[in-house]
Amino acid sequence: MRPEDRTAPIGDHVTDDRTAEVAERLGVDPRVLAVLVAAPWRAADGHDTGPVTERVGVRGTVYVGVPSPAELRELDLPADGLRHFGLTPADLRRGGWTDADLRSAGLLPPGAEPDPVAWFVAGEPAQLMLGFDPAGPVLLARPEPRRAGDRPVLDPVDAVEVPVLPGCADPDGDAGLAVRQVRDGLLRRARRRLTHCVVCLRPVHRAATVHGACHGCAGRWLGFVL
C-alpha cells in the first residue's frame, strides 16, 4: 500500500450521514434543520458523538415518584424544568432517576465528571459545527482543523450557545432568525479561512494545506506522509 493511501486527509470524508440523528436529538424536522442551520451532518473528526441513551426499564427505587425524562417528554414537558422546582440531581436520583435519566435531561449525575461535548460538522470542507453539551445548551461553532499525530481533528472555535434551537419549528420565527444570525456570523468567519488547493483546485481550509496543496494531494503528488 502506498503511503498516500494510508493518509487520512482533513476534509476527505467517507462517513455516514448523521442528519436524522442530529434532528432527533434537537427535536426538529430534518427539513427544518437543513434550512435553519445546515445539512447533511456527520461526526466531527476527533470527537466522540455517541448519543446519550436511556436504559429502558431501569429506574431504581422510587421514593418520591419523580417522572422519568421519557414520561415528561410524552407530556410535552421539559425534563430540565424540574430544576426550577428546587429539585437537584441528587433529589432526582433519590426519586428514581438513573444516571442515564439525568444525562438525557442535560443534568450531571452527582459526583460525575462532565462528559465531552458531542460535536457534529456540516459543509465540505467543514464550515459549521453543532455540539451537544450534556450539561448545557446546544452550541454552534466554526471548525479549525489540525492534526493529532496521524489523526485529523476539528476543534470548535467561537462557540455560541443557542438554547432556542432545540424544538424550533419555524425558521422564519423569532427563534429561527436568532439561530440563523448566529449561523451566518460563524459561516462568514469560517469561509474567510478557506482557500483552493493548488493541485486539485478544490476548496480547503488554509490550516489543512501543505505548500498550498490539500492533504490528499500533498500525499499523492508531493510525497508527504501525513
pLDDT tens per residue, range 185-203: 999 999 999 999 999 999 9
Question: Is pLDDT above 50 for 2?
Answer: no
Query: Which structural domain, as residue segments, surrounds residue 19?
Result: 3-48+115-220
Same domain, 165 and 74: no
Is 225 within the bounds of a domain? no
210 CB-contact burial (10 Å; exposed 0-12 / middle 13-18 / buried 19+): middle
Q: What is the mean pLDDT of residues 39-51?
A: 77
The answer to whether the peptide bond before residue 51 is cis (omega within 30 degrees of 0) is no
Q: What pLDDT sits at residue 64?
A: 46
Same domain, 42 and 139: yes
Same domain, 63 and 94: yes
Instruction: Extract the C-alpha cell encoding 18.
Output: 448523521
Same domain, 133 and 59: no
Q: What is the pTM of this model?
A: 0.67
Same domain, 106 and 166: no
Greater confidence (72 vs 172) lies with: 172
Q: What pLDDT sits at residue 170?
A: 94
pLDDT digits (tens, 9 = 90+) for 61-102: 333 456 666 666 666 665 555 554 567 788 878 777 787 777
Q: What pLDDT sits at residue 145?
A: 92
Same domain, 64 and 143: no
Question: Is pLDDT above 80 for 39?
Answer: yes
Same domain, 67 and 97: yes
